[in-house]
Amino acid sequence: MSEKPKSKSKLRKEKFETDAGIPLKDVYRPPEDAVDYDAELGAPGQFPYTRGVQSTMYRGRFWTMRQYAGFGNARESNKRYHYLLKQGQTGLSVAFDLPTQMGRDPDHALARGEVGRVGVSIASIEDMRMLLDGLPLGEVSTSMTINATASTLLALYVAVADERGIARSTLSGTIQNDILKEYIARGTYIYPPRPSMRLIVDTFAWCKAEVPKWNTISISGYHIREAGSDAVQEVAFTLADGIAYVEAAMKAGLDVDEFAGRLSFFFNAHNVLIEEVAKYRAARRLWAHIMKERFGAKDPKSWQLRFHAQTAGSSLQAQQPLVNVVRTTVQALAATLGGAQSLHTNAFDEALALPTETSARLALRTQQVLAHESGVGDIVDPLGGSYAVESLTSEIEARAADYIKRIDEMGGMVAAIEQMWPQKEIEQRAYEYQRAIEKREKIIVGVNEFQMDEAPPTDLLKIDPNLEREQTTRLGELRKKRDGQKSAEALRALTAAAQGSDNLLPRIVDCVKSSVTVGEISDALRAQFGEHREGRH
């Protein structure tokens, strides 16, 4: 009797690939032309920084553990910051509501129903005093997720520090200040791209002289990924934005090594663990070569891509929300294995509401367990030398470089945005991803597989609707008691600076110290710069 051939084991699916469509081999082996990894990649802390920007990484100190927080009014948010610092958080991260982000005061018609909803409402120096009350500004690093009004919110922060006698040279933190990704992915822009770029460059120059420890921009791939891009597009479009900022600053007369060391980046931490680790490594290496070879930067700090990561908000599901704890843990592990300098972990209930104290504490504890119990920080670049990681790193780098080349051929990122090209690329990728979920080619636990009937949670954070009314009342009282002549003079000086070429930051600082509001400053600049409308330029 002849023996029947043995049947092959059935695979889970026909093809295996990353979310960015990179085919995955079943087994990775060293390439035929393999060379010594230290010579090829550089050791940790050495160019091109594939293996990390510091030689000791987390052996020296852990990443900064931030929790993004802000809701209602400044008083309520201040309580949350004090709570998080007591729980072991090592850096503050401020979320602002949409009116603040869009340069509208709480009493503006377009702000109605949005005041304090997705972040804290900050309209004036009084609000900023309350937000920062009792916080050690000269000791703690503060990240502010703000873009179109970033220069104004930074001016408010510095003005409060000035009042408290805290030296500007001791202030450390980051403003996101990345307006290009707003046109690409998020939508909280005010002015057209070119005057917005002027505000950013003015901020670079002013901070170099006045607040030298401040990171003047956090070039953000996070929102690009949240809008539906894949990992390759996240790297490519983020670095292309970075290139545009460097070119604008150099065109304005700044030497690259005067500001490049204060650039920082903000990336998403998504679900596909190995691809995400490779993504961070590829971004570091590509940026190092761009800064050294394209822009001629000579200071090693100018070559280093330092980044904050946040776990993927778009991956959080309203169904079976506790499962989000697992997703967030995997994503946080990817960020730490990939060498993040700071990290925010989302709370499990954020698909339903702003986090409660309990869910925010659990999100922070997730980082603390990784740091103190997992051993992830005990080895510098723990996945370095993995055949799969190194192969994916090179593949992501090559594909991202191709995207950047196409953007250069269009005339750079500002021109590409005006042509709506990156927006369309992301829309197409988002559509393909959603179709894969709907066709069950991609399984999302609790959504299109492993569903269960369950009652929605009842212990969600609810914003008191009276907060909006109180904020509007306080703003009216501020306008009555301030020195109207002084406020008007400060606004006139800002308008004159906007009409010319003087740096706008000193005028904005004068405005906020004269109790001019965020909305009034934004309106003065709107009158000179105009407002951006999608598809028009």
Cα distances (angstroms) measured from residue 222 to each of 65, 309, 313, 314, 397: 17, 8, 9, 10, 18
Mean pLDDT of 279-303: 98
Peptide bond into 48 cis (omega under 30): yes
What's the pLDDT score for residue 357?
A: 86
Q: Binning pLDDT at 50, 70 and 90, where does residue 355 land?
A: confident
Residue 38 has pLDDT above 80, yes or no: no
pLDDT tens by residue, 402-455? 999 999 999 999 999 999 999 999 999 999 999 999 999 999 999 999 999 988
Residue 456 pLDDT: 78
For residue 376, what are the CA distances in angstroms to 51, 167, 332, 367?
14, 36, 11, 11
373 φ, ψ (degrees, to nearest 5): -120, -25
Contact 155, 505 (CB under 8 A): yes
Q: Is 50 exceeded by the pLDDT of residue 2?
A: no
How many whole angstroms separate alpha carbon 392 and alpha carbon 280? 11
Which are the contacts of 473, defined by CB distance < 8 A and separation ≥ 6? Answer: none
Q: What is the C-alpha radius of gyration for the chain, rounded to an integer number of angstroms?
A: 24
By the 10 Å C-beta count (0-12 exposed, 13-18 middle, 19+ buried), 500 is classed as: exposed
Q: Which of 361, 512, 472, 349 is nearest to 73 (CA)?
A: 472
**CA–centroid distance for 11 within its chain:** 38
Phi, psi (degrees; rounded to nearest 5) at 174: -145, 135
Residues 28/388, Cβ–Cβ less than 8 Å = yes
Could you tell me which of 511, 453, 461 has the C-alpha nearest to residue 486? 511
Q: For residue 442, how many other CB atoms are within 10 A of its CB?
A: 16
C-beta of residue 269 within 8 angstroms of C-beta of residue 276: yes
Average pLDDT value over all residues in the chain: 92
Among candidate residues 331, 275, 271, the one with its CA nearest the CA of residue 17:
275
Q: Taking residues 477-490, report their average pLDDT.
A: 97
Rounded CA-CA distance 161/245 in Å is 28
| 165-201 pLDDT per residue, tens | 999 999 999 999 999 999 999 999 999 999 999 999 9
Q: Could you say which DSSP state residue 35 is in? A: -
Instruction: Name the band, by pLDDT with cuts 50, 70 and 90, for residue 27.
Output: confident
pLDDT the model gives residue 92: 84
- C-alpha count within 13 angstroms, C-beta hemisphere, residue 111: 27
The C-alpha atoms of residue 166 and residue 142 are separated, in whole angstroms, by 14
Q: How many residues can be counted in the chain?
A: 537
Q: Mind listing the pLDDT tens digit for each residue in 322-348?
A: 999 999 999 999 999 999 999 999 999
> Which helix (H) or strand (E) is 71 found in, with range?
none
Q: How many Cα atoms sit within 13 Å of 215 on the Cβ side? A: 25
- Which residue in this structure is represented by tokens 């569903």? 451
Q: Tell me, what's the pLDDT at 4?
A: 45
Give domain 67-438's CATH number out of 3.40.50.300, 3.20.20.240, 1.50.10.10, 2.40.10.120: 3.20.20.240
The mean pLDDT value for 367-386 works out to 93
Q: What local confidence, expressed as pLDDT, does residue 36 receive?
A: 59
- What pLDDT score was predicted for residue 7? 44
Tokens 């889970």 -> residue: 12
> Which residue ranges make up each domain of the chain?
67-438
**pLDDT computed for residue 356 by the predictor:** 87
Q: Across residues 474-501, what is the average pLDDT?
A: 97
Q: Of 69-78, 134-143, 198-207, 260-269, give the lowest mean pLDDT range.
A: 69-78
312 and 335 Cβ atoms separated by less than 8 Å: no
CA distance 179 to 205: 17
- Residue 32 pLDDT class (50, 70, 90 cuts): low
At residue 57, what are phi and psi to the nearest 5 degrees? 45, -130
* Contact yes or no for 261/302 (Cβ under 8 A): yes
Comparison of pLDDT for 86 and 505, the residue scoring more: 505
DSSP symbols for 320-368: SGGGHHHHHHHHHHHHHHTT-SEEE---TTTTTSSPPHHHHHHHHHHHH
Q: Which of 455, 460, 458 is nearest to 356 (CA)?
A: 460
Which pLDDT does position 324 carry in this prediction? Answer: 98
Q: pLDDT by residue (tens digit) across 88-112?
A: 877 788 989 999 999 999 999 999 9
